[in-house]
Amino acid sequence: MSTAAFSAPDLRWSLVVPVKVLARAKSRMSAAAGPYREALALSVAADTVAAALLCEHVGAVVVVTDDPLAASELSDLGARVVSDEPDAGLNPALAHGAALARALAPDAGVGALSADLPALRPAELSEVLGTAAAHGGTAFVPDTAGTGTTLYVASPGVVFAPAFGPDSRARHRAQGARELALAGIPSVRRDVDTLDDLIAALSLGAGPRTTAIAPLLPACAPS
């Protein structure tokens, strides 16, 4: 494929979204979410996937999960769901999903998107993917905290080598990926791991599922 194809304004992307088994998800919010922790994790993931599917530059969303409830819910939204066959950690799971995505759509770019972006706005994601297409190669979006990564992408024909985990921002930069810290994309950078993160996402305008469950959480329930 030519370099020109990488920067085509109509380049489509397949995004891989990893979703933990719900019983192990959102562990840092156990006290804040109480008995709704698993439901919160699923709501956040579902709002993320639904928003990604509405993005004009996204051709497909591949969810990698071993959770049957998450698989069913996210499949109903329109995602292609696969099990975590490598079962060897986050980055191998993403590589597994990306290999399937490239087999299904070899002319598309591939990306790894955090499942923890309940305020994700399709237009902001579109801006990021359009910028990534214009530059080609690999690129990533740092999280709001400035140490992690919420999105990592590789253009068609480019090696997909995600480096999520501690200090992933520095690890992706060290690999030569272009940092896309664009202005006006707060929803792409606001992942949710803590109660403060959730409150910030709600203030941005979270998706309907997260917005509906938030008042039920012990830490967010009206007094």
Query: Residues 157-163: contacts with CB within 8 Å, 24+ apart?
Result: 157/1, 157/6, 158/6, 160/94, 160/95, 160/98, 160/102, 160/110, 160/112, 162/90, 162/91, 162/94, 162/95, 162/112, 163/91
Q: Which DSSP string do the residues of 65-127 spell out, in sequence order?
A: ---HHHHHHHHHHT-EEE--SS-S-HHHHHHHHHHHHHHH-TTSEEEEE-S--TT--HHHHHH
Sign of CA dihedral 112, 199, 217, 168: positive
**Structure-block tokens of residue 185:** 């994309």
Kindly give the pairing relationship between strand 149-154 and strand 138-142: antiparallel
Residue 184's SS3 state is coil
In tens, the pLDDT along 117-142 reads 999 999 999 999 999 999 999 999 99
165 is in an annotated binding site: yes
Which residues partner with 39 through β-bridges? none
CA 98/CA 221 separation, integer angstroms: 39
Binning the chain into helix, strand and coil, the percentages to the nearest 5 are 45, 15, 40
168 is in an annotated binding site: yes
The kind and range of the H/E element at 202 are helix 195-204
Whole-number pLDDT of residue 2: 38
The amino acid that residue 139 corresponds to is A
State the CATH architecture for 11-216.
Answer: Alpha-Beta Complex (3.90)
- Torsion angle in degrees (nearest 10) through CA of 118, 124, 127, 128: -40
In tens, the pLDDT along 202-211 reads 999 999 999 9
Per DSSP, 7 falls in state T
147 is in an annotated binding site: no
Going residue by residue through the chain, which has 223 residues, state the pLDDT in tens, using 9 for 90 and above.
434 444 566 899 999 999 999 999 999 999 999 999 999 999 999 999 999 999 999 999 999 999 999 999 999 999 999 999 888 999 999 999 999 999 999 999 999 999 999 999 999 999 999 999 999 999 999 999 999 999 999 999 999 999 999 999 999 999 999 999 899 999 999 999 999 999 999 999 999 999 999 999 999 877 6
Whole-number pLDDT of residue 205: 97
Cβ 125 vs Cβ 188: under 8 Å: yes
